[in-house]
């Protein structure tokens, strides 16, 4: 996605008007559709399904439980939707408030919208057993490792089961995952 253009081909799904305002502040021609919360109305999902026939759909939600729920609902309705992620750190408010796209910097948003992930036919050599051996499930630091690896791969955070599914969905190979885990462990 060329973020320097005034008009983009894609439509970005966000949670609310503050997210839209933030994106338009940095990327004036960007178009968004707001879900207005985690209970995405059927009318919005139907609109996205119709739009997906003509345009690319990108999901950019807050890195929290409600954002993940929206991402799941939209992706179920539009399996071809591409996924953009910001980290929890990038979504932190400067003062008070909750995590949100509306707090992300221009650089974080540009990075998220340039590094898109899409659902792929599972074609990875990553098995659940290999995933567990890397310390990403039910280990003493597995939560922390998953969060750091998710940030490194820019695929967001998930619990043990969700994270494994996300790796499979985006076709992350065992070697890519091993490399990310090693880099994260070297940083500690």
Domain topology for 11-114:
Dna Topoisomerase Vi A Subunit; Chain: A, domain 2 (3.40.1360)
As a whole number of angstroms, the distance between CA 90 and CA 70 comes to 19
Instruction: Give, to the nearest 10 degrees, the angle between helix 142-153 and helix 174-187.
Output: 110
CB atoms within 10 A of CB 129: 7
Is 116 a residue whose pLDDT tops 90?
Answer: yes
Q: Per residue in 58-68, pLDDT tens?
A: 999 999 999 99
Helix (H) or strand (E) holding 26: helix 17-26
Q: What is the pLDDT of residue 97?
A: 78
Q: Per residue in 172-188, pLDDT tens?
A: 989 999 999 999 888 76
Q: Which one-letter DSSP state was computed for residue 159?
A: -
Q: What is the pLDDT of residue 8?
A: 67
Domain ranges, ordered by start, for the chain = 11-114, 128-187
Average pLDDT, the chain: 90
Q: Which residue has the higher pLDDT, 122 or 67?
A: 67
CA-wise closest residue to 117 among 171, 65, 158: 171
pTM of the complete model: 0.81
Is 7 a residue whose pLDDT tops 70?
Answer: no
Is 107 a residue whose pLDDT tops 70?
Answer: yes
Q: Per residue in 124-175, pLDDT tens?
A: 788 899 999 999 998 888 999 999 999 999 998 889 999 998 998 888 989 9
Dihedral sign from CA coordinates of 77, 78, 82, 84: negative
């Amino acid at each position: 996605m060329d973020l320097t253009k005034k008009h983009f081909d894609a439509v970005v799904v966000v949670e609310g008007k503050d997210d839209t305002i933030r994106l338009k502040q940095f990327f004036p021609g960007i178009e968004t559709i707001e879900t207005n919360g985690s209970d995405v109305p059927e009318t919005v999902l139907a609109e996205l399904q119709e739009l997906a026939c003509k345009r690319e759909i990108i999901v950019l939600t807050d890195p929290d439980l409600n954002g993940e729920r929206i991402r799941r609902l939209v992706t179920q309705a539009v399996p071809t939707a591409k996924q953009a992620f910001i980290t929890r750190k990038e979504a932190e408010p400067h003062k008070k408030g909750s995590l949100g796209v509306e707090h992300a910097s221009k650089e974080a948003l540009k990075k998220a919208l340039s590094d898109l992930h899409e659902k792929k036919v599972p074609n990875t050599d990553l098995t659940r057993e290999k995933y567990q051996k890397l310390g990403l499930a039910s280990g003493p630091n597995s939560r922390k490792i998953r969060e750091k690896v998710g940030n490194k791969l820019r695929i967001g955070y998930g619990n043990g089961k969700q994270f494994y599914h996300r790796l499979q969905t985006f076709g992350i190979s065992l070697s890519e995952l091993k490399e990310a885990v090693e880099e994260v462990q070297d940083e500690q």
